[in-house]
């Protein structure tokens, strides 16, 4: 039986991203450091953060205190919306705060160039194509190994890839993916362009969060039936579904038992018909919305 915890996906730049990572969004102060350290001590080799999360310093502390060699850890972070005109500075801030020598994957967090002086405004003379021009230059620094995007829809990718200034195809598009937001058109489009997809909110959201939505995904009969028959948690079933779709997954947790459980994906699998039964779930909801940004970035046309 495949050892899924050691599974990697090869990116279009030849580098290998670990299939299972730890998400750190919406973790409280001090929780992040401990959860990152615990995850690395228990086998995780992929940590995801972002400038926007405000926890890069703690993430770096957790990495350094884990005892795991830096070269064995994949670290992803992201450029925040108000930094699109200052890519080099935004990258340097993340590099400084993480304090881990280099960054494995640096992403444009959203295709939205927010005015740093007014969060209700989009910069009139700047968009993500210009941001990507600056992102490409970062590779020459040797301090970032791969670059990519996050929350890009098909229309965004088409605009970027068709621009003459786009010399490097994004290695990754990190997007919300779970059985109630499967986005098959977007996933297929990325695969056709050689862009790997990492699934965030892969467990369907955070219940009770004041910022994002959540749905009854883990109560779906198809998921509960499989969980019971295999002796696994509903969360493990959903995570395996994500792996079987060819996406890396970054479930977030700060609870040691759940961090361990989410990594318990070795020695079992889902058959094609079981994957199909989960994909047939009809409920639809989106965890991350775009109402807090000055422009729309989600259009609901990726299903």
Q: Which three-class secondary structure state does DSSP give residue 247? A: coil
Give the start-end residues of each E strand in 135-246.
Answer: 144-150, 172-176, 196-200
Give dist(CA 130, CA 242) in Å, integer: 32
Residue the block writes with tokens 């884990």: 66
Alpha carbon 134 to chain centroid, angstroms: 21
Alpha carbon 184 to chain centroid, angstroms: 17
The count of C-alpha atoms lying within 13 angstroms of the C-alpha of 294, restricted to the half-sphere facing its C-beta, is: 16
Backbone φ, ψ for residue 283 (5° rounding): -60, 145
As annotated, the active-site residues are 53
Structure token pair of residue 264: 């318990």
Give dist(CA 152, CA 72) in Å, integer: 28
* Alpha carbon distances (Å) from 103 to 96, 143, 146: 10, 6, 8
Give dist(CA 296, CA 302) in Å, integer: 14
Structure token pair of residue 11: 């990116």
Alpha carbon 197 to chain centroid, angstroms: 8
| Helix spans in 42-86 (H) | 56-65
Give dist(CA 182, CA 245) in Å, integer: 10
């Amino acid at each position: 039986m495949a050892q899924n915890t050691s599974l990697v996906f090869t990116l279009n730049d030849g580098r290998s991203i670990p299939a299972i990572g730890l998400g750190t969004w919406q973790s409280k102060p001090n929780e992040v450091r401990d959860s990152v350290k615990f995850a690395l001590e228990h086998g995780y080799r992929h940590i995801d953060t972002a400038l926007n999360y405000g926890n890069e310093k703690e993430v770096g502390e957790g990495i350094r205190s884990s005892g795991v060699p830096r070269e064995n850890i994949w670290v992803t972070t992201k450029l925040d919306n108000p930094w699109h005109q200052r890519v080099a500075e935004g990258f340097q801030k993340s590099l400084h705060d993480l304090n881990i020598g280099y960054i494995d994957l640096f992403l444009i967090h959203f295709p939205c160039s927010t005015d740093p002086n007014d969060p209700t405004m989009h910069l009139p003379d700047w968009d993500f194509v210009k941001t990507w021009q600056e992102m490409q230059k970062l590779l020459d620094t040797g301090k970032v190994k791969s670059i990519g995007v996050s929350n890009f829809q098909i229309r965004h990718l088409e605009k970027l890839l068709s621009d003459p200034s786009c010399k490097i195809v994004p290695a990754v598009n990190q997007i919300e993916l779970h059985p109630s937001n499967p986005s098959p058109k977007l996933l297929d489009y990325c695969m056709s362009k050689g862009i790997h997809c990492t699934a965030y909110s892969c467990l369907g959201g955070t219940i009770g969060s004041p910022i994002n939505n959540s749905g009854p995904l883990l109560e779906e009969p198809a998921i509960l039936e499989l969980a019971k028959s295999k002796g696994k948690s509903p969360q493990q079933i959903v995570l395996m579904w994500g792996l079987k779709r060819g996406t890396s997954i970054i479930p977030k947790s700060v609870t040691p038992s759940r961090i361990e459980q989410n990594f318990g994906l070795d020695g079992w699998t889902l058959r094609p018909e079981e994957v199909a039964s989960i994909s047939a779930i009809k409920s639809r909801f989106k965890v991350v919305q775009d109402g807090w940004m000055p422009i729309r970035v989600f259009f609901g046309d990726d299903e």
